[in-house]
Amino acid sequence: MPFTLTTFDAALQAKLNTASVNLSAQDYLLLTKAVAAAIEVSEGVSLLDLKNTANGVAGLDANAQIPLAQMTLAVPAQNTHSGKFLTTNGTSTSWAVVDALPSQTSNSGKLLTTDGTSASWTNTATLSSISTTGDVTSGDQLYVGSGAAAFETSGTLTSAAAVFKKASAANSYSQIAFQNPTATSSTDIIAYMDNGVDADGWIDMGIAGSTFDDTTYGITAPGDGYIFVNTKTGKTGNLVLATGDNGTENKLVFAAGGFASGNTQMEITPDVNVHIEIPTPSTSATTGALTVVGGVGIQGDMNVNGNVAIQGTITFGGGGTTVETANLAVTDPAVFVGTNNQADTVDLAFIGEYATATSPIIASVNNKALTSNVATLTTVASHTFLAGDVVTITGIDATFNGTYNIIAVPTATTFTYAKTAANVTSAAVSPVGTATVNYRRKFAGIARDASDGIIKVFKDATTKPTSTVNFSEAGLSYATVKMGGAEIGSVTNTEIGYLSGVTSAIQTQINAKPNTASPAFTGNATFSASSGVPVTITNTGSGNSFVVEDESSTDSTPFIITAAGNVGIGTTSTQAKLDITSAAGTASLRLTDATNSTLTITHGSPGNLLDFNFAGSATLRFIGNSVERMRIDSTGRIQIPAGGVLEAPLTTRSVSTTSDTPVIADAGKLIEFSNTSTITVTIPDNTTTPFPIGTQINLLQINTGQVVVAGALGVTVNANPGLKLRGQWSSATLIKRAINTWVLIGDITA
């Protein structure tokens, strides 16, 4: 039954009648107002002690005291407020509906809660019943701090059980404090999975007490902070530490030894590296910035800038692992490679790297970047750099300039190298810088080729070998091996086998052996003698042919050839004079080849002499297909037998451009010019193009572009009336009269 002023008034009147108290109407009114004002509920506690409220009727406690200040408050109008309580906020009063309280019997220490319809006592309060604003909200949220509820809405928080908002001073902090005062225990914040219990299915963050000593968690010492994960059986149970991708770096940073130091011991940079920077030297397997008890597996290259001391066995092979280091100290007497190489598909090798000078390879750089001590440069056009090349950078800035080894070539227009410096955001380089490669990395080594089982010593490979060596790579060659006093170059195994049975110096044995075996020459036989000693070859047959070369550049002693049959003579020397002399006096010396087909006599250098000297009135005859075709007698006359033809074949070179410079091969040719614009023909200086004196070059204008002849600096071209061809289909001839003097004759004009 609701507790109202009407029921209170009747109860008060009954009480006064029982006590035989007579009050005037004015006194009664004042007493009623004072009592009504005193029944103020603040923070859920009445100023008067209400008793026996279970039946909706309140009894006055004999010890209840009514504050005098409350007795002066005016009572608001009572009409339309039947059944309501009079309440105050400390300044004014108003009527409000208050449900009757449930019985307090056997409910000591409990909380009064309501479901919106009726009230009841409970040992547990739900979050919906607690709010710093005094509002009852729907759902299980707890809002602490001004603006907490607004933040949940504006922040679009997902299923937030509690929202806290607490401002703090600059460089200070807000906190949710939790302390376990028991020194032998710990203070923990635990989150459980959907089926988690105390034994498993939880993650725990906490700190051990000052005398904590629980052997169940022996990994922690007193005062240690920790994060534990203990999942359910069958689950992965991973502890995941991760960063998002919204930041500019998104690293995982590990630091120890002081919050104010600013030093980090380890950083994990996404998709770049795990960097440990602790300046602790390593003098044993248990010292250094990183120590590992157990095996270490590495897939990829390992670069060590320092000494490597290994107490156990190094095993290479299988996966083609590469180890690069400045120094390698091995205590065992042998290095073993190829363990368990059952398929025999990899080359077992020891390979070295070196740099060789190369023609400068230059590229312009228009962009720079540096991330995690790796510099990346972009070139304007495609470069031909290779990983390992030595590159010199100029014209960018102090961070990037210098000489480095290229570590990678990601694209045709980018390359990278190691550079220890602060990160540099990708930026354009203006004006452009320069990257120059003067030295190219190459590889040499000794390897057992798995494809044929042969052990090979090689050099000058430009591709870094991994599991195999590309022995067919362009530029790779087999190196000379020196063993003691022996040097073996490109000698084959068969050739080495020929040494079997040698009992003394080979050359000594060869010199002592006379030509008793009558060897048959299947190729060109070369005979040589010291300076001043003639070489005499006597041909005793009638069908044999010889080719004799004078190998000396200064020897003027002629070859003396006694030829009863056919003899072929040639020279490749650039200086020596080859004299062919008939030893038979006035007899003819016939020069033919073995099959009576084409005979070619070639001298090694223009300007040197190829002399045919004949005693008496001998004649030089040219025989083709057993028929005499031409002869030169001792007086210098050239005779062409009846039916023969003396001709000089004319060849043509076409020019479609507006300029041209004749070359040696144009001598005796016809040059045709087809452009419709003026065409300039420049006669070159004798030092650059030494045309023989008497050279003739024919010019023909076959289009409307007029051909104009000019001499280069120092060259004179004479003509009358001028140095231009008159028009289309005009022709003229250039004739060299002296070292740098020419004349132009033909259909020409000024």
Q: Please answer whether residues 148 and 161 qualify as being in contact, where contact means their C-beta atoms are separated by less than 8 angstroms.
A: no
Dihedral through CA 725, CA 727, CA 732, CA 738, nearest 10? 0
CA distances from 49 to 53, 59, 103 (A): 11, 9, 15
Radius of gyration of the chain (CA): 56
What is the C-alpha separation between 408 and 415, in angstroms, rounded?
6
Low-confidence ranges of the chain (pLDDT < 50): 1-3, 40-73, 126-138, 319, 542-545, 547-560, 562-568, 570-579, 581-600, 602-609
**CA distances for 26 relative to 4, 13, 23, angstroms:** 22, 14, 8
Do 468 and 481 form a contact (C-beta atoms < 8 A)? no
User: Under DSSP, is residue 29 helix (H, G, I), strand (E, B) or coil?
Assistant: helix
Q: How confident is the prediction for the chain on average, in pLDDT?
A: 76
What integer pLDDT is reported at residue 642 of this predicted model? 75
CB atoms within 10 A of CB 435: 26
pLDDT of residue 165: 85
186 neighbors 209 (Cβ within 8 angstroms): yes
Contacts of 719 (CB under 8 A, 6+ apart): 709, 743, 744, 745, 748
Q: Say if CB 338 and CB 348 are below 8 A apart.
A: yes
- The residue among 260, 243, 261 whose CA lies nearest residue 171 is 260
Q: What is the DSSP letter of 686?
A: T
Task: Classify the C-alpha dihedral 326-330-334-339 as positive or negative.
Answer: negative
Structural domains of the chain in order of their starting residue, each with its CATH number: 5-96 (no CATH), 186-230 (no CATH), 249-280 (no CATH), 307-344 (no CATH), 349-488 (2.40.30.20), 533-642 (no CATH), 652-749 (2.60.120)
Q: What are phi and psi of 508, to 5 degrees?
A: -60, -40
At 442 the three-state DSSP class reads strand
3-state secondary structure of 474: coil
Q: Strand 348-371 vs strand 402-411: parallel, antiparallel, or unpaired?
A: unpaired
pLDDT at 340: 74
Look at residue 519 in the predicted model and tell me its pLDDT. Answer: 65
Q: What is the model's pLDDT at position 32?
A: 64
On the question of a cis peptide bond just before residue 721, with omega within 30 degrees of 0, the verdict is yes
Q: What is the pLDDT of residue 61?
A: 42
Angstrom distance (rounded) from CA 415 to CA 506: 55
409/411 Cα distance (integer angstroms):
6
Residue 316 CB coordination number (10 Å): 19
In angstroms, the CA 642 to CA 439 distance is: 68
Structure tokens at 532: 């001043």
Check: CB of residue 221 under 8 Å from CB of residue 215: no
Task: Give the pLDDT of residue 124.
Answer: 59
